[in-house]
Structure 1
Amino acid sequence: MTGESPMREALPARTRASRLIVVARARAAEDYDRVLGALADAGVRSVELTLTTPGTFERFASLRERFGERLDLGVGTVTDAEHLARSVQVGADYVVTPIASPALVAQARDAGMPIVPGGLTPTELFGSWSAGASAVKVFPAGQVGPGYLGDLRGPFPDIAVVPSGGVDAEGAAAWLAAGAVAVSVGGPLLGDAFRGGDLAALGRRAAAFASVCAGAAS
């Protein structure tokens, strides 16, 4: 039994509709602009900016001003209360954490901030879900595969899952067909974009992923 459903913040509407979150892990925050522009032009509607990129918080306001009408901008790799509070302060649309932390989920709920905490085991994932997470991130998804979602749905029929880690276009389609609410994609889509790679090629990859996810939603 899952018990009484807790109150939880929904993921932003554009993220829910597109079913695709692109994880942007750049070498420096100054590299975000050219890549986010190409992603938005290709039909991506949700990007997670990671705190492993130096200067993410400092750059956030300008990115929100430039891209906020076209992109949901989340903050990822949030691992402590200070990170989460600052994410709220800068106006993130959602936060993502690689860990299963009921304390962070509770803090996000109190702030009205959608949160997607990570985990792999049923205990970790259900612990975050039952605490009121908006969705739970299965990470690393490549170690389990889409069939894992069916296993989770046995005891936890309502759990909302976002797979992350090693998800390519074929995997994205399979996870969404299995019932994932969205997929979180990094390297297979971004390729060498943050190392000076061709933006036209990035746009083609991004459009292909967006099309796959939109098709899975139809």
Structure 2
Amino acid sequence: MNKREIVLKAILQQGILPLFYHDDVAESVGLVKKLYKAGIRVFEFTNRGDKAAIVFKELLSVRDREMPGLYLGIGTIKNREEAALFADMGADFIVSPIINPSVAELVNEAGLLWIPGCMTPTEIYHAQEYEAALIKLFPANILGPGFMSAIRDLFKGQLFIPTGGVDIELSNLRSWFNSGVCAVGMGSKLIDPKNADGLEEKTVLALDLVKQARQK
């Protein structure tokens, strides 16, 4: 099993992909440690600030020393230069809000999982042309589970993960999984970078609700 398959399997098993950005190294490390303690083994740090590379490098270092079995990905990658920077640094997977063929080509060449963001059937088709095994439905709060249900039969076998507005609430999660997604992305609804109080307990709850939501 190659790196791409290993990370994809980990996301599917976990059923949830937490994500956040914080420009403080110590705070970011603390947040990821809490997620790890709660049971998270795949996580996305987003490239949304000037300190992203500095923080991500330290997260990888701490992961290697203290958090075995954790896959760290980088999100909000929009161009080839960003993709190259973080791939060379050691990112386990790369998430994009858009489809940039040069990013897809670089990530595929590196043998990593590329997760592009799509909002229309045409974008999904283009993502498939560049071998996207997993596609992010974004923004999920605009598209909704009804969109996933409507396009599911058009793209049989394709794996989808909604991100943006997914709630830590059983009925919302169940509606997404019943519509056909394989996992859900969670940012601010799960993680408040400015306040880590209760994050571990909240993450344990989210993992449990996802497990319940996936049960038929």
Q: TM-score scaled by structure 1?
A: 0.86
Closer/same/farther in 2, CA of residues 109 and 20 from structure 1, 3 Å limit? same
The one-letter code matched in structure 2 to 1:134 is A
Closer/same/farther in 2, CA of residues 139 and 203 from structure 1, 3 Å limit? same
Matched, 1:36 2:35: no
Could you tell which deviates more after superposition, 37-46 or 52-61?
52-61
Distance 2:26 2:145 in 1: 35
Matched, 1:99 2:94: no
Distance 1:28 1:134 in 2: 32
Distance 1:20 1:196 in 2: 21
- Corresponding residue for residue 149 of structure 1: 148
Distance 1:173 1:79 in 2: 31
The one-letter code matched in structure 1 to 2:134 is A
Tell me which of 37, 44, 48 is aligned to 2:44.
48
Could you tell which deviates more after superposition, 67-76 or 116-125?
67-76
The one-letter code matched in structure 1 to 2:175 is A
- Corresponding residue for residue 137 of structure 1: 136
RMSD: 2.0
- Residues 51-84 of structure 1: CA deviation (Å, up to 9, x unaligned): 1143332332323324541421100111111111
Q: Is the 8 A contact 1:10 1:134 kept in 2?
A: no
- Residues 64-111 of structure 1: CA deviation (Å, up to 9, x unaligned): 324541421100111111111122211111110111223321221111
- Corresponding residue for residue 164 of structure 1: 163
- Corresponding residue for residue 10 of structure 1: 5
Distance 1:76 1:217 in 2: 25
Closer/same/farther in 2, CA of residues 135 and 119 from structure 1, 3 Å limit? same
Matched, 1:119 2:118: yes
Distance 2:212 2:157 in 1: 23
CA deviation after TM superposition for structure 1 residue 158, in Å: 1.8
- Corresponding residue for residue 174 of structure 1: 175
Could you tell which deviates more after superposition, 50-59 or 132-141?
50-59
Matched, 1:26 2:25: no
Q: Is the 8 A contact 2:36 2:67 kept in 1?
A: no
Could you tell which deviates more after superposition, 208-217 or 122-131?
208-217
SS for the counterpart of 1:189 is coil
Q: Percent identity?
A: 28
Q: Is the 8 A contact 2:161 2:183 kept in 1?
A: yes
Distance 1:11 1:115 in 2: 13
Distance 1:127 1:188 in 2: 30
Tell me which of 172, 192, 208 is aligned to 1:211.
208
The one-letter code matched in structure 2 to 1:138 is L
Moved over 4 A (4+): none
How many residue pairs align between the two structures? 207
SS for the counterpart of 2:39 is coil
Distance 1:164 1:196 in 2: 21
Distance 1:63 1:172 in 2: 32
CA deviation after TM superposition for structure 1 residue 11, in Å: 5.9
- Unpaired runs of 5+ residues, structure 1, are 1-7
- Unpaired runs of 5+ residues, structure 2, are none
CA deviation after TM superposition for structure 1 residue 27, in Å: 3.5
Q: TM-score scaled by structure 2?
A: 0.87
Closer/same/farther in 2, CA of residues 129 and 81 from structure 1, 3 Å limit? same
- Residues 169-212 of structure 1: CA deviation (Å, up to 9, x unaligned): 2333321232212111001111x3x21341xx111211111112
